[in-house]
Chain A
Amino acid sequence: MKPKALLVIILFLAAISCRKTPDSEDLTLEQIVATDRDLEANFSNYSTYFIPDTVSIVASVSTDSILTGPLALQLVTAVKTNMNSRGYTFRPRSAGLPDLALRLTVIKDVTRTAVCGGWWDGWYGWYPPYWYGCYYCGGYYYPWCTTYTYTIGTSMLYMFDVKNLGTNLNLRALWGATMFGVFSTSNNQTNADLTANAINQAFSQSPYIKK
C-alpha cells in the first residue's frame, strides 16, 4: 500500500473515533416525570381523597411487597401535601369512601451486565416499555471487559375515581404519573428524596388537578 493511501486511512480511522463523549455531568439525574390525564375528567368535581400509608414495592432483591416506615411516609406525605394544597381533603378509611383514591408503587430493579469491546458494539440495555438505551453501559475500549451494576427506579402514582364507581366495581383512572431514572444501589434515603421530588414535579406539571 502506498504511504499516502495509508496516511489517509489512518487519518480517517482517527476521525471516526473522535466522537466526543457526552458531557453527562450536566444532567441533573433527577427522575424523568411523565404524566397522563383523562381529558374528560373534571377534577373540580371531587372533594376528598385517600392514600394508604404504605407504598407497594417491586424489587429484584426484596423481602416484602410493601414499603413501610419513614421512607414510605416521606413519599405518602409528599402526595398528601400536594393534594391538600390543591384543595382536596384527606378522608381516612374509617370515614367511608373518598371521592378519589391514590396508589403509589415503586419498582427498584438492579441490573448487571458485562461489556467487552468498543463502545460502538457494546451492550445497549433496552428498558421496557421504552426504547431507551443505557449509555452508562457503553464500556471501555478493547480488550478490557468490565461489569456494570446500576439500579433503575420507576415509581407510579395513579389517581382513581371512587366517587363514580360503577356497578361492576371497575375503577377509572383519572390521572397517572410515571417517574423513572437511576436509583442509588445502596442509599434508599437518596432514592426516597428523588421520588419525593418527582412527585412534587408530577403535580407541578399537572395544574389542572385542583378542587
Chain B
Amino acid sequence: MKKLIIFIFTIVACTGSIDAQKWNLDNLMTFNWQIATPLSTNYLKETSLSGGNFEYRRFLNPKFSVGIGFSWNSFEQYIAPRVYEKPDGSQAIYTDFVHQVYTLPMYLNAHYYFGGGENMKPYAGLGLGAQYSEQSAYYNIFVSEEENWGFVARPEAGLLFKLNDYFGLHGAVGFNYATNKNDDFKIESLKHVYYNVGIFWNVY
C-alpha cells in the first residue's frame, strides 16, 4: 500500500502543463495484462500472472472520463502437506492443498487526467461495482468450492503513452478491495494490488 501511495504521488508530482486538446480523446478502450498480488489473507499469498483487464472510457471533457470495466484474476498456491488439528485436540487431518481464488470485478469507473506532456497523460481514477469470486481448495482428487459476490472498490493511478493519434501504451497500478467473504476458508474480504500493462486505442 505504501508503494502504491508513493507511485500515485510521483505521478501527480510529475504532471506538467496539460495539453489535452492534442490528444483529442473521445472514446477510449484499454486492454491489459494484469499482474496481481493478494493482500491480507492467509488463504494464499502468491502473486498471480494470470489476469487481464478491459475498460471503456468516455471523455466528458479533456480531463475527465467515465466508463465501465472488468478484470479477471486467477490466484493459485500450493500448500505443502501438514496436519490441521482441532483446537481441543480431538481431531486432526493431514493433507496437502492447491488453493485457488478466481476474481471477476465488474465496475463503473471515473478518471481524472493530469497534464503530462505531448505524449504522456497520467491519471488517477476509481472503480466501483461488484465482484464475482470462486474460492477452491483442491486436495487429492477432491475439491471444496464456494462462489460469492461482493462490493468492489478500485482506486488506481496510471499512465497513457501515445504512439499515434488513435493508439498507445497503457500502464497502471491499483488496489482492488472486495467484500467477498468465505467463512469456511476464513476469508473476510478479498484484496489485491494489481499492475496493468497493455494498450489503449481511441475510438472516434
Contacts and interface: CB of A to CB of B under 8 A. Distances in A.
Contacts of B141: 29, 134-136, 150, 152, 181-182
Contacts of A112: none
Contacts of A36: 90-91
B70 A27 contact: no
A165 interface: no
A135 B142 contact: yes
Contact of B100 (A20, A34, A127, A136): A20
Interface in B120-174: 134, 136, 138-145
Contacts of B74: 18-20
A27 B142 contact: no
A151 B89 CA distance: 31
Interface string A15-43: 11011101110111111111111010000
Interface in B43-75: 50, 52, 54, 56, 68, 70-72, 74
A39 B78 contact: no
Contact of B50 (A11, A18, A27, A39): A18
A206 interface: yes
Contact of A134 (B100, B104, B143): B143
B50 A20 contact: yes
Nearest to A32: B95
Given A18-B72, A19-B134, A34 B92 contact: yes
Interface string A173-184: 000000011100
A24 B52 contact: no
B53 to A, nearest CB: 9
Contacts of A12: 54, 70
Nearest to B104: A16
Contacts of A31: 140
A87 interface: no
A19 B96 CA distance: 22
Contacts of A32: 93-95, 139-140, 142
B203 interface: yes
A8 interface: yes
Interface residues of A, number: 43
A12 B95 CA distance: 36
B12 interface: no
A205 interface: yes
Contacts of A28: 81, 96
B183 interface: no
Contacts of B81: 28, 30
Contacts of A142: none
Contacts of B76: 20, 22-23
A206 B98 CA distance: 25
B83 interface: yes
A182 B141 CA distance: 6
Given A37-B90, A132-B142, A150-B141, A22 B72 contact: no
A131 interface: yes
Interface of B: 27, 29, 31, 50, 52, 54, 56, 68, 70-72, 74, 76, 78, 81, 83, 85, 88-98, 100, 102, 104, 134, 136, 138-145, 203
Q: What are the 6 A-B residue pairs with the smallest beta carbon separation, nearest first?
A: A132-B142, A20-B74, A181-B140, A135-B143, A26-B78, A33-B94
19 contacts: A4-B203, A7-B29, A8-B68, A15-B70, A19-B134, A20-B74, A22-B98, A22-B138, A24-B138, A27-B98, A27-B138, A28-B81, A32-B139, A32-B142, A33-B93, A33-B94, A135-B142, A136-B141, A205-B94
